[in-house]
């Protein structure tokens, strides 16, 4: 295992029922694949204690919390103070996921925008990276991210990026990062691969979004952090790098953006 290049699953959902009673095995298989760290994401703040407990129970697991845009109309509106308070936990390393999703939930666009601005404020105040979900809302997303960045800079990752060239460019111009999920390995995703290939390699992360979006050869099955390695292998192809070099680059990128994780590891 020591010869396996190390990578980080920058976005997964280990509290979801798909993993009930299996986390010991999930974390073990991840380590065997070289996935030595995971960030598990809380999508409804009322579930934060459960997600926090997972991070506290497993040394390789860190966590972030926020209100997913598709839940923004169903959940109480978070406050920046609430998110800042949660960020005091040593393994709380990011704000979100937040964002905009007009594919299924365009009717809640107004509250989604309000929620997004709250999460951006928390990222500005804590210095932790904002974790963005963007779907079918590219124009509003680019506008709000840019407006708020002009108010006060912050760091951000466009999680599971599968949007337009224009949104990729807007995010990269702000110094943000793009995260590559299993979608980038799907056979019909050449346009998305081209977007990644045109991005600076020092701005790329890898993730699973587990239990969703398993890359080939597991497509259609439950995803898990170990499968980050398959997406990273595709990433190495996209950037015409050998796998160990690409893995090392994504690790450096993750440490730069998620500095609290790097500091935690150094202090451990």
Which pLDDT tens digit goes with each residue over 136-182?
Answer: 999 999 999 999 999 999 999 999 999 999 999 999 999 999 999 99
CA neighbor of 225 nearest in space, from 2, 11, 5, 1: 11
Contacts of 78 (CB under 8 A, 6+ apart): 45, 66, 67, 115, 118, 119
pLDDT tens by residue, 21-37: 999 999 999 999 999 99
Structural domains for the chain: 7-267 (3.20.20.140)
Q: What is the pLDDT of residues 208-260, one digit of tens each?
A: 999 999 999 999 999 999 999 999 999 999 999 999 999 999 999 999 999 99
Q: Does the pLDDT at position 267 exceed 90?
A: no
Per-residue model confidence as pLDDT tens digits over 101-122: 999 999 999 999 999 999 999 9
pLDDT in tens, 38-86: 999 999 999 999 999 999 999 999 999 999 999 999 999 999 999 999 9
The whole-number pLDDT of residue 169 equals 98
Mean pLDDT estimate for the chain: 97
Residue 1 pLDDT greater than 50, yes or no:
no
> Is 187's pLDDT higher than 60?
yes
pTM tops 0.85, yes or no: yes
pLDDT at 268: 66
User: Dihedral of CA 70/85/58/203: which sign?
Assistant: positive
């Amino acid at each position: 295992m020591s010869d396996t290049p190390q990578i980080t699953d920058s976005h997964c959902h280990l509290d979801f029922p798909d993993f009930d009673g299996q986390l010991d095995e999930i974390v073990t298989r991840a380590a065997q694949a070289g996935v030595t760290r995971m960030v598990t994401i809380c999508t409804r703040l009322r579930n934060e204690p459960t997600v926090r407990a997972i991070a506290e129970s497993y040394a390789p697991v860190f966590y972030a919390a926020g209100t997913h845009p598709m839940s923004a109309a169903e959940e109480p509106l978070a406050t920046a103070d609430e998110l800042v308070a949660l960020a005091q936990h040593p393994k709380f390393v990011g704000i979100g996921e937040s964002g905009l999703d007009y594919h299924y939930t365009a009717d809640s666009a107004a509250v989604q925008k309000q929620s997004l601005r709250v999460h951006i404020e928390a990222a500005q105040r804590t210095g932790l990276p904002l974790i963005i979900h963007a779907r079918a809302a590219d124009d509003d997303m680019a506008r709000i991210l840019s407006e708020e960045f002009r108010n006060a800079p912050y760091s951000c990752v466009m999680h599971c990026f599968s949007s337009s060239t224009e949104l990729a460019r807007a995010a990269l111009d702000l110094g943000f990062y793009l995260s590559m999920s299993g979608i980038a390995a799907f056979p019909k995703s050449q346009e998305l691969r081209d977007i990644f290939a045109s991005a600076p390699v020092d701005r790329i992360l890898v993730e699973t979004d587990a239990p969703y979006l398993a890359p080939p050869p597991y497509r259609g099955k439950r995803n898990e952090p170990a499968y980050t390695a398959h997406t990273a292998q595709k990433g190495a192809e996209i950037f015409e790098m050998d796998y160990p070099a690409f893995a090392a680059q994504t690790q450096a990128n993750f440490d730069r953006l998620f500095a609290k994780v790097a500091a935690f590891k150094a202090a451990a």
